[in-house]
Amino acid sequence: MGIFEPFRALGYITTQVPFSVQRLGTETFVTVSVGKAFQIYNCAKLSLVLVGPQLPKKIRALASYRDYTFAAYGHNIAVFKRAHLVATWKSHNAKVNQLLLLSERIISTDVKGNIFIWAFKGVTENLSPVGHISLENKFTPTCIMHPDTYLEQVLLGSQEGSLQLWDISTLKKVNEFKGWNAAICCCVSSPALDVVAVGCSDGKIHVHNILRDIEIVSFTHSTKDPVTALSFSTDGQPLLASGGSSGVITIWNLETKRFHSVIKEAHDCSIVSLHFFAREPVLMSSSADNSMKIWIFDTSEGDPPRLLRFRSGHSAPPLCIRFYSNGRHILSAGQDRAFRLFSVIQDQQSRELSQRHVSKRAKNLKVKEAEIKLKPVIAFDVAEIRERDWCNVVTCHMDTAQAYVWRLQNFVIGEHILSPRPEDPTPVKACAISACGNFAVVGTADGWIERFNLQSGISRGSYMDMSERKPCAHDGEVVGVACDSTNTIMISCALVKIVYHRYNGLLAAVADDLVIRLFDVVALRMVRKFEGHSDRITDVCFSEDGKWLLTSSMDGTLRIWDVILARQIDAVHVDVSVTALSLSPNMDVLATTHVDQNGFYLWVNQGMFSAPGKADSYGSGREIVSVNLPSVSSVEKSLANNFEEAKINPEEAEDAYHFPVSDQQIPDLVTLSLLPKSQWQSLINLDIIKARNKPIEPPKKPEKAPFFLPSIPSLSGEILFKPSEPAEDEKDSQSGEAQKTREKPAFPASQFLQFLQSSAKDKNFAAFTDYIKGLSSSTLDMELRILQIIDDDEEQEPGKRQELQFIELLMDYFIQEITCRNNFEFIQAVIRLFLKIHGESIRRQPVLQEKAGKLLEVQSAVWQKIDKLFQSTRCMVTFLSNSQF
C-alpha cells in the first residue's frame, strides 16, 4: 500500500454514449456514461443521484428501467440494481453497440449484426437470451428503435443506408426499406402513428411513413454535417429537434415544413443525444464536450430556446490545478479556454468562472464564443488572504501579452488587466502573488519582470539586472517567479521550473537533466538533490509543512521525496502520465491531471487515517508500485479488480456494499458513526421532546354520535358507544381464546428483533448497526420498550422468557460494539436509553446482572483510555492559554 490510494475522479459529466431517460413517478432521471462507470442525474435540477461502480471496459451503450441499469461494455452486458451488480449477460461474440428497452425485455445489437433478446424478470436466474436474430452480411446495424403501437417490433438502421423492421416475438423480418443512399446515424419515433424520423450521414433528415413506405418531408442541415441525434416535441408544438457533429441544434417546424430556429454553439463538440420531456416545452441535450444542457421554449416565435440549466466539465484536458479554500475546492484551467472551480465536497457547486458576457459579445460581433474567450491558461497563482477585498487570482494565458485578475468571491474576471511594458508587449509566461495579497509579479517572454498592485491594477515598478546588456531581469524567457513570506525577496528563473515554499525557505528547481535540486534561499546554497525520473518532469509540489516534495513525470511515475531524510519514500506508476498535481493544505487529498483526460483524480492519504505504529510501512521507498487511476465512484473496491469473480447473489452483493467493515482500527481511539448530532442527541433528550410536543388541548369529543351507531348516556352526560353483543357461542369461543392468550402470551416479532437475531447468529452486528442507525429516535424507543418486562412477579423460568433472551442479545451487541470502538457516540446514546428502560429489569434478573457487569468492565476500560487522551489535551490547552508569549 502506498501513501496515497485512489479515491475518486471529478469533473466528468458525460461521454460520447447516448443517455437513457426514464420517468419514475413525478420525477425524470437520466443515466449517462462517464467512461467505465455510469451516473444518474435528477433532471429537475441536474443533481447527481447515484454513481455506479467501475466496469472493466468503457461503456458503449446504456438502458434503464426503474431501479435497473443495463450497461454494455465490450462483448458483455452488466445488469445493475441501483449500484449493485446482479447479473452479467455473455452471449455476444463482438462489441455491443446498442441497447433498447422494449416492454420487459432488452434488445442488444453488436457490430457483427447479431441481435439478442433478454428478459430481465428473474434476472439473477435467467442469464441466457430468450431469442437471437442474425442479420445479413450486407446490413451493419447503426441504430435501433421501437415504433409506437408496433407491438413486439423494432426498426433497425444500417451503415449501408437501408432499414429493416423485425418482429422479436417471431424472430422474423416484417419489412425492408431501401433508404436514401447514405448511412443512417439515428432514428426516432414521432407522436404521429406510423411516422419516424431518420437522420443520415449526409446531413439530411427524412420524416417517413413506414406503413405506406412514403416520405412525408425532408430537411437538410446547412453545414451538411451528419445528423447524430433527433427528438420530437410532445407538448403540442409540431417541432423536431436535430443535432449534428458541429455542435449545433436545429429546430424544425413540421406544420410549415420549414426551419424554426437554431441554437448556435449549443455544444463545443458533436451532439450525442436529444430528448424532449413528455408534454413539456423542454429539450435536453448531451455532447462529447463533457456537458449536459436543458433548454426551454419560452421565447417568441422564431427565437432559439433559452438555456435553463446545465452541468459541464472541461471539454479538453486541464493544464493547471490548485487546491483552494482549505482543500474544499480546486481551481482548474484547461485547454478549452475555461477557468473552473470544482467542489470536492458537493459536485453541484462546481462552476466555470465568468469572463463577462461572452455569449452576448459573440452574438453582437457575429463570431464564435471560442474566439471571444481568453486563450488557455498556462500558469496562475492564488492568495486567499484578500478574497473579500479585491481580486485574488492572477492568470497567464497562451501567447497573450497581458495577465488577467479574477475575483473568486464573485466567480468573475476582474476589472483590471495587467500589461507589463505596454510599449513593447511580449507574452506573459509566469506570475505570482505576494504573501500579503497586495501585489502581483509577472514575467514575460523577453525577460521583463514587473510588479502590479492588485487593488488598482497600477504598475508599482519593475526588476532589472543592470549588469545585463539590456535593462531586463533575464536575457531569455522568464519561466517562474516567486515571493517570500516577508516581501523582501523575489525569486525568478529562466530555463528551469521552480516551486518555492514560503515557510521553510526552500526552492525546488527542475532542469532538463531530470534532477530535482533544493536550494536554501537564505543561505544561497543547494541543500538536497533528488534523482529517479527517466522522462520530462511535468510538475512539482511541496506539502504544506514543507517535509514532502511531490513530483510527476512523463515516464508515468509520481514520486514522493522526504526533504528531511533526503530520500524517496514512495513511488507509484500509472498508465496515463500525470501532467499536473496539487496537495491539499491538510495533506489528506492529492489531486492529479493526466494526459488526454478531461477530469482530474483524487488520491487519499492513507497514512493519516491509519495506526501511528504502521506509518513507516506505507512508503514503498525505491520500489515503484503500479496502480489504477481512481474511478468516478468512491467505492473502495472497484468491480474491475475482481469482476469475473462477482458471481454472487444480490443479497450478498448488497450486504458487501452497505456494510463495509474496517479492517484497521487505530489503537486507543474510537470511530464515530458520522451521524448528524441531532439524531443521537434526540435519544438522550427524548422525554423532553415528547413533553414539548404534547398537545395543549385534548381532542374535543363529538356532541352527538352518528345516527347509525347505537349509544347510551353516561352519568357525566357524555355519549358512550354501545358495543354490539356477541352471540352465546361466540362468547364461549372468545372466553376460551382469552384463556389461551393468558396462558401463552404472544410476543411480537418485529423487524428490529429479526435483525438482532440474525446478526447474533452470524456473529456480525454490522447489518444490525446499519439498521438501527436508520431508525428515528421515537421508533427506536418504541422497539426497545417492546422488550420491557412488566410482570416481574410472574412465576416463569427466566430462560423461557423471550424478553430476557432479546435483552441478553442486545447487551452482547453493546459489548461487541464498545470492544471494537465503533459508532462510539451513537452506541453511548442507545445504551443510555436502553438502561433507562430496562435498568430495573437488569437489577432484578440474576441472568442479566452478569452481562451488565461485563458491559461495565468493557465500558470503563475503553473510556479510561479516551479520557486519558482528553486529559492530556486539556492540560496542554490550559498550559498554553495561561502562558505569556
Q: Which three cell numbers stand for residue 843?
A: 437489577
SS3 assignment for 536-582? CEEEEEECCCCCEEEEEECCCEEEEEECCCCEEEEEEECCCCEEEEE
pLDDT in tens, 233-286: 999 899 999 999 999 999 999 999 999 999 988 999 999 999 999 999 999 999
What CA dihedral angle connects 481, 483, 487 and 488, to 10 degrees? -70
Residues 662-676, mean pLDDT to the nearest whole number: 68
Q: Please list, in sequence order, all residues whose beta carbon lies within 8 angstroms of the beta carbon of residue 423, skipping any fewer than 6 positions away.
A: none
Here the cell at position 250 is 436545429
- For position 663, what pLDDT does the model report? 44
pLDDT for the residue numbered 497:
93
The sign of the torsion formed by the CA atoms of 664, 665, 667, 672 equals positive
pLDDT at 50 over 70: yes
More confident residue, 773 or 724: 773
SS (H, E, C) 719-748: EEECCCCCCHHHHHHHHHHHHHHHHCCCCC
- The DSSP call for residue 55 is P
Q: What is the DSSP string of 792-851?
A: TTS---GGG-HHHHHHHHHHHHHHHHHHHT-SHHHHHHHHHHHHHHHHHHHHH-HHHHHH
Q: Which residues have a Cβ under 8 Å from the Cβ of 492 and sit 6 or more positions away? A: 430, 443, 449, 463, 473, 474, 478, 480, 481, 482
| 285-302 pLDDT, tens digit each | 999 999 999 999 988 777
Model-level pTM greater than 0.75? no
- The average pLDDT across 303-330 equals 93
8 A C-beta contact, residue 202 and residue 182: yes
pLDDT at 524: 92
Q: Residue 553 has what pLDDT?
A: 96
Q: Has residue 612 got a pLDDT over 80? A: no
Helix (H, G, I), strand (E, B) or coil at 651: helix
d(CA 393, CA 591): 19
CA dist list (Å): 873 to 867, 877, 878, 880: 10, 6, 9, 11
The separation between the first and the last C-alpha atoms of the chain, rounded to the nearest angstrom, is 43
Q: What span, in angstroms and rounded, lies between the C-alpha atoms of 307 and 326?
A: 33
Q: How far apart are CA 859 and CA 612, in angstroms?
A: 24
Q: Which of the pair, 722 or 245, is modelled with greater confidence?
A: 245
What value does the mean pLDDT take over residues 782-790? 75
Reduce the DSSP state of residue 214 to 3 states and report it.
Answer: strand
Which carries the bigger pLDDT value, residue 398 or residue 693?
Answer: 398
Q: Which 3 state secondary structure label does DSSP give 869? A: helix
Q: In Å, what is the CA distance from 371 to each residue of 336, 355, 361? A: 11, 12, 10
Q: In 3-state terms, what secondary structure has residue 155?
A: strand
Can you give the pLDDT at residue 679? 72
Instruction: Name the pLDDT band for 609 (thresholds 50, 70, 90).
Output: low
Query: How far apart, in whole angstroms, are the C-alpha atoms of residue 676 and residue 345?
Result: 17
How far apart CA 62 and CA 77 sit, in angstroms, is 9
Of the candidates 635, 632, 643, 680, the residue with the CA atom closest to the CA atom of residue 660: 635
pLDDT at 743 over 50: no
**Residue 665 and residue 865: Cα distance in Å, rounded?**
15
Show the cell assigned to 791.
410482570
Residue 200 has pLDDT above 50, yes or no: yes
Closest among 838, 788, 790 to 811, alpha carbons compared? 838
Does the pLDDT of residue 873 top 60, yes or no?
yes
Contact present, 752 and 771 (Cβ < 8 Å): yes
What residues does 444 pair with on adjacent strands? 428
SS3 assignment, position 760: helix
Instruction: Count Cβ atoms below 10 Å from residue 768 Cβ, excluding itself.
Output: 23
pLDDT in tens, 70-113: 999 999 999 999 889 999 999 999 999 999 999 889 999 999 99
pLDDT tens digits, one per residue of 531-544: 999 999 999 999 99
The residue among 29, 91, 93 whose CA lies nearest residue 62 is 29
Is the C-alpha dihedral spanning 278, 282, 286, 287 positive or negative? positive
Q: Is the pLDDT at 1 greater than 70, yes or no? A: no
Q: What percent of the chain has pLDDT over 70?
A: 86
State the Cα–Cα distance between residues 732 and 814, nearest whole angstrom.
47
The pLDDT value recorded for residue 791 is: 58
Q: State the Cα–Cα distance between residues 876 and 306, nearest whole angstrom.
A: 60
Q: What percentage of the chain reaches a pLDDT higher than 90?
A: 57
Give the mean pLDDT of the chain. 84
- Does the pLDDT value for residue 856 go beyond 70? yes
More confident residue, 601 or 690: 601
Stronger pLDDT, 698 or 523, i.e. the higher one: 523
What span, in angstroms and rounded, lies between the C-alpha atoms of 818 and 686?
23
Give the model's pLDDT for residue 721.
47
Contacts 24+ apart (CB under 8 A), 814-821: 814/855, 815/851, 815/854, 815/855, 815/858, 816/765, 817/765, 817/769, 818/855, 818/858, 818/859, 818/862, 819/858, 819/862, 820/665, 821/665, 821/669, 821/670, 821/671, 821/862
